Amino acid sequence: MEKKHLKVAISDNDTADRAVPLSEIAFRAIRQKILRGEIVPGEKLRIEVLQREHSLSSSPLREALNRLVAEGLVTSDDHRGFRAANMSAADLNDITSYRLVIEPAALAQSVTNGTDEWEGHVVAAFHRLDRIDAKIGQNQNELNDEWTLRHKDFHMALVSAAPSSRLVAACSSLFDQAERYRRFSLMNRTKPRNSGAEHRRLMEAAVGRQPEVAAALLKEHIQLTAQNVLEIELPRAAR
């Protein structure tokens, strides 16, 4: 196994001098390219090509690709190797149907069980997201990696007090699988969307200890994202 480490910043909560395994660096780099559409759906991910692009050995790259398989962003076949997962309306509908069952349930449980500390965590996560919203301003089609990070942080803060760690992990996985579609919609949509107002209502219902209201708002939020994507022609898979 690869033992060498590099120093990079991970997130707002990490220190700049934290050593990060090469497999983690590879995972983030490939994941970002898939989410951004720089690696197109169905594109073959050849180890030898990735080695040249990222100056890494095969071991951390294979570990990263297997993690991406578990996230649903990459597929693996004994005969065809690794490929970026395809995008389709059927796949998005499948992801959305699971999200509509799991995430509102997790949020309702989180609101019911959340402590004052959890409440502060939700408000802080919303504030960080709201600040980046203000920074981006009216350019809603701007692709911003910091916004993406803070967006997920907010959604995960909402469900973080759910008593089942498996339920929270499922929310995280489904959110990541839907992220590529959300990004594609962001880059191609023509109709504006006030997601900031949607997030504020979610935050207010959560800290207001209204589990049913929060769950209903989250369902609407998820459904609107899917509707926006389905109005756009999805990219065809690479051969």
d(CA 75, CA 137): 36
Q: What is the mean pLDDT of residues 3-25?
A: 55
Higher pLDDT, 205 or 176: 205
* pLDDT of res. 37: 80
Of 144, 235, 133, 236, the closest CA to residue 184 belongs to 235
pTM of the shown model: 0.79
d(CA 89, CA 80): 24
Q: Quote the percentage of the chain above a pLDDT of 70.
A: 85
d(CA 110, CA 93): 25
**Mean pLDDT for all residues in the chain:** 85
pLDDT band with cut points at 50, 70 and 90 for residue 139: low
Dihedral angle, C-alpha 218, 220, 221, 225, nearest 10 °? 140
Report helix, strand or coil for 59. Answer: helix
Is 141 a residue whose pLDDT tops 80? Answer: no
What is the Rg, in whole angstroms, of the alpha carbon atoms belonging to the chain? 18
Q: Give φ, ψ of 87 to 5 degrees.
A: -115, 135
